Amino acid sequence: MFCTSCDARLHLADIESERRYGLGSILFIRCQNSVCSSLNDVKTGKRNNGTFDINSKLSLAMVHTGMGPVQINNLLATLNLPPVVSSTLKRREQKIDTTLETVAKKSCLEAQKEEIEKGNGKAKEKNITMMTSDVNFMPIKFRPIEDVILHFWKKSGVVSGSP
C-alpha cells in the first residue's frame, strides 16, 4: 500500500479509523511522510458497483445453503468475524435471486430447445406452448406424453399393440 499523494509506503499501524460495510471495510491510514501527512482510504477487498464482492459472495452462500441472516451471523460469530447487518444481506440476496432466476429461465429454455431438436419431429405432434427468454409464449410441436409412456411400456412388454 502506498500513499496516493507521495507514494510513500503506508503501514497498518497508522490506521486512524475504519468504516465497515458488511465483511468489507475501508481503512483510513495517515501517511507518515512529514511533508505529506495525507489521509488515505484503503479498501480491504474488490468492489463491484459500490458493493464489496465479499458481501455478495456471503449472500450467495446464504442462498445456496438455505441459511438466513441469523444463522449466517451465528456462523460468523463462531469464526470470530464481525456480524453483517441483516438488511445488507437481504439487499444482496434480492439482487442474487433476480440473477439466479434469469439464469434458470435461460437454462430451461435451452433444455427445451435441445429436447425439441433431439425429437426431430418423428413422433406424433401436438401443439403446446414453450416459454421463451422474454417470458412470452409461442406454439411449438411436441410429442404427447401419453405416446411417450405407451412407447416405453410397449418396449418393456407391459402393453402390446400400437399407439
Q: What is the value of pTM for the model shown?
A: 0.59
- 8 A C-beta contact, residue 75 and residue 67: yes
* Residue of 99 and 155 predicted with greater confidence: 99
- Per-residue pLDDT for 74 more than 70? yes
Cell numbers found for residue 135: 417470458
Give per-residue pLDDT as tens, 98-148: 888 888 888 888 887 777 777 655 444 444 455 544 444 444 444 555 555
- Per-residue pLDDT for 96 more than 90? no
**Confidence label for 3 from pLDDT (cuts 50, 70 and 90):** very high
Check residue 50 and give its pLDDT.
Answer: 84
* Residue of 48 and 151 predicted with greater confidence: 48
Torsion of CA 139, 142, 144, 145, to 10 degrees: -110
Check residue 150 and give its pLDDT.
Answer: 55
The mean per-residue pLDDT over the stretch 140-163 comes to 52
Give per-residue pLDDT as tens, 17-71: 999 998 999 999 999 998 999 999 999 999 988 889 998 899 888 888 889 899 9
Residue of 104, 146, 105, 108 whose CA lies nearest to 124 = 146
